[in-house]
Amino acid sequence: MAKNSAVYVGLGSNLDNPIHQVKQALLALDAIPATHLRAHSALYRSKPLGPQNQPDYINAVAVLATQLPPLTLLSELQAIENKQGRVRATERWGPRTLDLDMLLYDNKQLQGPRLTLPHPGLHERAFVLYPLCEIAPDLVLPDGQRANDLRQRCSALGLSKNPMS
Ligand code: ROI
């Protein structure tokens, strides 16, 4: 039997009914070939990182078990983003219908043109660390840091769990 890898994925949306976008994406993650959705966090509402003249985001983190290698899985994530109407905007850090960020793939460390692991924003983003620690409170990153220590250093200001739809 092929080996399963544990992959954490960050979900984010702030356009076109973001709660629906994130829930739809969770279903789509579970439908990726050779992949299962193992768990996901609650939904969180967060103030935008980047330009403030855009709507609040809905964020969540999911953990997958997959037999796909990182770049194959990345293509599957990008196909889901595209299917859910993602248009790659010219504005950096502008609003988006759906963002699926591969945060961690087992303990892999990788720096390539398409993919950096762990995700470079992981260490300092409250909207990633709070939902991540909700589903993986004992997680240790490839560099030996505990995700929960990083979370405690990160302000939860502007972040709320289980927002009303
Ligand atoms: N800000 C928040 N709060 N949540 C996101 O998912 C998010 N994603 C982004 C940028 C534009 C950096 N800001 C974000 O890509």
In this structure, the dihedral spanned by the alpha carbons of residues 21, 49, 155 and 101, taken in order and rounded to 10 degrees, is 50
Classify burial at 30, counting beta carbons within 10 Å of its beta carbon; exposed 0-12, middle 13-18, buried 19 or more.
middle
Query: Which residue has a Cα nearest atom 3 of ligand 1?
Result: 48
Q: Which domains does the chain have, with CATH numbers?
A: 5-161 (3.30.70.560)
pLDDT of amino acid 88: 67
Answer yes or no: are the C-beta atoms of 31 and 126 closer than 8 Å.
no
Per-residue pLDDT of the chain (165 residues; tens, 9 = 90+): 679 999 999 999 999 999 999 999 999 999 999 999 999 999 999 999 999 999 999 999 999 999 999 999 999 999 999 999 777 667 788 888 999 999 999 999 999 999 999 999 999 999 999 999 999 999 999 999 999 999 999 999 999 998 875
Looking at residue 3, the DSSP 8-state letter turns out to be: P
Q: Quote the ligand 1 centre to 93 CA distance (angstroms).
A: 7
Ligand 1 center to residue 13 CA distance, Å? Answer: 8
Q: In this structure, which residue's CA is closest to atom 15 in ligand 1?
A: 93
Does 143 participate in catalysis according to the annotation?
A: no
pTM, two decimal places? 0.96
115 touches 97 (CB < 8 A): no
- Span from the CA of 118 to the centroid of ligand 1 (angstroms): 17
